Chain A
């Protein structure tokens, strides 16, 4: 149980285009999901917290108008990178908080999406 999927697993796009990444909790409802970005040989950096039915909260330095997050259902959060540029190329990973009744601090990670902007 507690499986999180992401789609697509990788994407290549041209500079200036927008890319949408989906994060789904497959076998549980996730009221809270998180989006991370990981550059090569670096750590995971939290970008934003996605709460079902409300606006996402962004970490300092993350542009909310560039990284649009929508959490319209209890099993789906989407991250849209708008007007992508080469410096946005990175590994984007989502996670979902464990369902209640289970160690609620635990997060389950998606497999990640490799974004390459040409």
Chain B
């Protein structure tokens, strides 16, 4: 099955700086790569997603890049704010729509 690895496991950044989280996947058939933000005890919230026919996508301070050849994708958050502090998960799925999640990254934005 699909194996998604995520790094780093924790990330502490100064407010205003950028945060980058990287994921790799194993199944070349994966074609959908969402990123979720989860606050303690809450549901995962989709913050951005990318499909395999696109190399980059941006939504305000958040961007995702995908390298299909290398089978890795990254989340970039610019101008971080304290409310960006949360656990972030990457995921990958194929046409069966089953999501395989990375282990998560705990992001702390220091004021």
Checking B34, B41, B45, B104 against A43 with a beta-carbon cut-off of 8 angstroms, the contacting residue is: B104
Which residues of A are found within 8 Å of B98, using beta-carbon distances?
34, 46, 49
Alpha-carbon gap, A32 to B93, bound state (A) = 15
Complex contact B89–A44 (CB within 8 A): yes
Within 8 A of A (CB), among B45-79: 45-46, 49, 51
Stretch from A69-77, A78-86, A99-107 that touches the partner: A99-107
Checking B42, B49, B102 against A105 with a beta-carbon cut-off of 8 angstroms, the contacting residue is: B49
Complex contact A43–B97 (CB within 8 A): no
Most buried by A among B1, B42, B97: B97
Chain B interfacial positions (CB closer than 8 Å to A): 1, 31-32, 34, 41-46, 49, 51, 89, 93, 96-104
Chain A interfacial positions (CB closer than 8 Å to B): 32, 34, 42-46, 49, 60, 91, 93, 95, 97, 103-107, 109-112, 114
List of 8 A-B pairs having minimum Cβ-Cβ separation, nearest first: A105-B32, A109-B43, A43-B101, A44-B101, A111-B43, A43-B103, A43-B104, A109-B44
Give 18 A-B contacts (CB < 8 Å), ordered by A residue: A32-B97, A34-B99, A42-B104, A44-B99, A46-B100, A49-B96, A49-B98, A91-B41, A93-B43, A93-B44, A95-B99, A104-B97, A105-B31, A105-B49, A106-B46, A107-B34, A107-B97, A112-B43
